[in-house]
Every structure is written in structure tokens, then in C-alpha cells.
Amino acid sequence: MKVRLINLMKILVEANEIMTIKEIASRLEVSNKTVRNDLSVCEPYLKDMNITLIKKSGVGIYIDADDEVKLEALNKIKRQTVGLMGYGSLQRQLFILKKLLFSKVKISFSWLEMNLYVSKPSIYKDIHAAEIWFKERDIELTKDKYGRYELISGEKRLRKAIFDWRSYCIKSLNQADLEEMMKDTYIGRAYGKDRSTQVVRKIEKVFKIKFVPEDFKGLVIKLSIITERMQDGHYVTLKKDTLTRLSQLRLYQHIDQISQYIKSNYHIHLTESEKGYLLGLIVSLNIYKGSPDWNVDESCSGLNIELTNTITDIISDKLYVLNGNRDALYNRVLSHVQTLVNQIHYGLYSFHTIADIIDNNYTTLCTIVDDIMPVFKEKLDYVFTLSDKSDFLIMLAELIEESKVSLNALFIYSHKFSDASLAISTLKNNFNQVTIETALPIDSHHDFDISKYDIIFIDESYDDIISSYDHVIVLPPLLSFPDKVTLFDRICKYYEEKNYNRIKK
């Protein structure tokens, strides 16, 4: 759409005669209705260039301006960055962030004014929003002596900001606008992505691990940023104690292999700080295959144990998980703590694409994480990011799901046992939340203690059973698909009730 708007304005400015809607639509290969809609979008931009759009019913459309104004307007339109026409404030702000993060040439207010086609107050507002965004990442947006905008920051923070900008775009833009925004950046290039993917696969092979898919993709993007920044002459400089701590990891020997692989295949040389930075990134990610202690930093073992004990106590006080097995809970928490402490010590960061969704959907668990967060503030002077919080929420939700037990059920039948067997088989195949322990005929239920069961299934309505026990479900002779859907809702409700009361302390 953005390209079409630019072409429409060029047609209008270059035309020396009145044109009809039909003629314009034919040239743009769109409908008359689309042209009318686009004209309403273009009109304010033309007005800002001192051009008046004249529309005469039954005659056509033309512009009112002298040749000098037309020429100046045409030059502006031709210089217009494709994709910005008609953008709202969010897209403009993303564009400004993009230019500040990726452009090798400093930009000025006048450049933004010429390319954004909005009023000065709007541009000032967009720049202020960008300033706040950078400030949240400890980056200062300032001006040089010529009035051009520049960023004052360390290299690690800039790399993180580039990564965050990409995530911000993915979250905020539709697919077409996202592709447009990314296409002239190095994180949007297929070659850089392919190269980084090969490096990450080499890392997995050398370290004998497999990253979880999201962290795999994240490392690919981070590597694209690292290599391009280095090729432009921007290098990370790690503090001496951080580099020393990293070099003492037993995994440090592997990073030389990765460095040599990158140098041999892509002619990019990693400095000692860059090797340490890359190793820090690697040991701060999650894996689904490999040694459980692959990323242990022995210098942090005392701190990790102290944090893990405290967090295990917090969780145990609130939840009954893993059948009360403290050792199993401790090991799960320790693995999670080790990764986060690595991130904190090496000045790195976590990333979760759906962190806000997780935060909104696990509100009952947020109180537990709220108790965990001060522990890191006290011991490491570290404030949780939304992604850190979400990672803990996911761990707690995973522990809860693993700790749930099925509903024990009794099947009471009044017809043939073969009919009951069919119903039981259908339940077993479709509802793994239920374990049917036994089946008995209706005339025997008085001699059996059925109060101990979570659910009682019966194949015919019996008032004395229904009135005497909770969670009685009367089944039809044959379970159709709609029956199964209805039954699923009831079983899930009972299942969650039982486990909520069992797990929540």
C-alpha cells in the first residue's frame, strides 16, 4: 500500500492535465474505490507540500500549484522512503529507532521532517518516545554540535537494543510492514541468517548440546548482530574480572574451536572479549539435550546453592509439587537459577517472545514470583525483567502440570457389561485425566464404598446416587462427538478443582 501511495502522488504531480479516477486506477492497476480511498490519505501530504488537490465531480482530478512547487514536491516524493507514507506514530517511532541503531550516517531533525511527512510537533513527540525507549536500556540519545542525533552507550547495550528493536517490530507490525521495516537491515538478510545458523549448529556440535528452539533462533539473531557490528568496527570490551571468570569455565576451551570456525569460514576474527561475550551468551541459554550441569560456573556455586535453597523454600511454602519431593524440586530450581545467574554475571539478557501473554495468563502464580524477585535484588542487586519473570512463571506452571494426578473414577452400569466396556474404552481413549479403577453393576453399589472416588460414571439416571454424591456423570448409551466435547468440559473442571486443592497450599 505504501508504494502505491507514492506512485499515486507522482502521477498527480507529473500530470499536465485533468485525470479521471478510472484513468488513475488503470495506471495503478487497482479499483476506482481504492483510488478514492488513497486520495483521502494522500491529500494531507500534498497539502504539506503546498499543493492543493482539486476534485470536480463528473470532470476529474488535478492539482493546483506552480511548476516550482511541483518540482520541489516531486523531488521530495522520489526521495520518500517506501513504506513510511500513511504510517502511524508507532511505525514512525520504530523507523526512527531503526535509523538510529542501524544507519552509519547520523540523522537530523530536518532529515526526519523531509522523510516522515508529518508535522514538527509529531516528530518531536516521536523522538521523545525514542528517547524514553533508549533510556530504559541505559542508552542516551543526544545531539552532536551539528544538531545530529547520536547514541551514547556501550557496545553490549547497543547490541541488546538492536535485538529488542527486532522483537518490538515483530510484536507491533503485521507481516507486510515487518518485512518492509526489516528488509534493509542486516538482521533481515538471508545470508547473515544462514551464516549464523551454521555457527549455532557448530556450537551445538562442539558443546554436545541442543538448544530449545526459541533460544536457538535467538542466538542466530544475536550472532547476526555480533558479526555485522564487528565488521563495522564495533567490538565488545569485557571487564577483566568477567573475562577471567569466563576463561575459568571448563567450557572455555570449546570457544576457541568456534572462533576458528568463524574465522575459517567467514573471515571474521573474534577478539578475546568477543570470545568471552559469545561464551557468555551460550551458557546463558536453555537446552533440551545435553549434560544437566553443562553451563555450571563453579565460582558461583555457593551463590547458586544459597539462592536455590531460598527459592525452593518459597515454592514449597506455597505449592505441593512433585509429590513433595524437595530434592527433585531443588534440582529443577537449581538448573533455572544457574542459567539466570550466568546471564546476570556476564551482563547478558533473557528474551521471551510471549512474555506479556505469559504474565497475563498466570496471574495466580505471579504472587510466588513476586516473593522470589527480592531474593535476587538482595543477593545480586538485580531487578527482574518481564522475560525473567515469565521464565519463572513457566517453570512453576510446568512443575504444577507435572504434579497433577488423574481423577479416580468408578463406572456403575445397569445394562450389559459389553455396553459398559465400550463406554469405559471410549473414556480411556479420550480422557487421560481419568483413571477408571473398577466397574460394578447397579445392584452392587450399596455394598461398595463409592464415596472415595472423584467421579462416578453411570449409564442411567439414578436419583439416589445423583443426590448422594458429588461429581456424578450420567453417560448416554453411545458417546457421540458432541457428547465428548460436553463431557470434556466437565471432566476438566473436576480435574482442575482436585489438583488446585491438592497443589495449592
CATH T-level fold of 189-289:
PTS-regulatory domain, PRD (1.10.1790)
Terminal Cα-to-Cα distance of the chain (whole angstroms): 56
pTM for this predicted structure: 0.66
CATH of domain 298-402: 1.10.1790.10
Consecutive H or E run containing 455: strand 455-458
The three-state DSSP-derived secondary structure of 409-447 is EEEEECCCHHHHHHHHHHHHHHCCCEEEEEEEEHHHHHH
CATH T-level fold of 89-182:
Arc Repressor Mutant, subunit A (1.10.10)
What does the block give as the cell for 413?
A: 452400569
**Contacts (Cβ under 8 Å, ≥6 apart) of 97:** 130, 133, 165, 168
CATH 3.30.70 fits 407-503, yes or no: no
Tens-digit pLDDT profile for the chain (505 aa)? 366 777 788 888 888 788 888 888 888 778 888 888 888 878 877 887 888 888 888 788 888 888 888 887 877 776 554 444 446 788 889 999 999 999 888 999 988 877 776 778 888 999 999 999 999 899 999 999 999 999 999 999 999 999 999 989 988 888 878 888 887 888 878 888 999 999 999 999 999 999 989 889 999 999 999 999 999 999 999 988 888 888 888 888 899 999 999 999 999 999 999 999 999 899 888 888 998 778 888 888 899 999 999 999 999 999 999 999 999 999 999 988 988 998 888 777 666 767 778 888 888 899 999 999 999 999 999 999 888 899 899 999 999 999 999 999 999 998 888 888 999 999 999 999 999 999 999 888 777 888 899 999 998 888 778 788 889 999 988 888 988 998 999 999 999 999 998 898 7
Three-state secondary structure call for residue 1: coil
Domain boundaries for CATH 3.40.50 within the chain? 407-503
Rounded to 5°, angle at Cα 67 from 62 and 69: 90
* Pair 454, 498: CB distance under 8 Å: yes
Residue 295 phi/psi, 5° resolution?
A: -110, 20
The distance from CA 132 to its chain's CA centroid, rounded to whole angstroms, is 21
CATH T-level fold of 2-79:
Arc Repressor Mutant, subunit A (1.10.10)
Domain boundaries for CATH 1.10.1790.10 within the chain? 189-289, 298-402
Rounded to 5°, angle at Cα 184 from 181 and 188: 75
How far is 8 from 6, CA to CA, in rounded Å? 5
Q: Which residue in this structure is represented by grid cell 495506471?
A: 27
Domain boundaries for CATH 1.10.10.10 within the chain? 2-79, 89-182
Burial class (CB in 10 A: 0-12, 13-18, 19+), 275: buried
What does the block give as the cell for 75?
A: 523531488
Cα pseudo-dihedral 469, 473, 474, 479, rounded to 10: -160
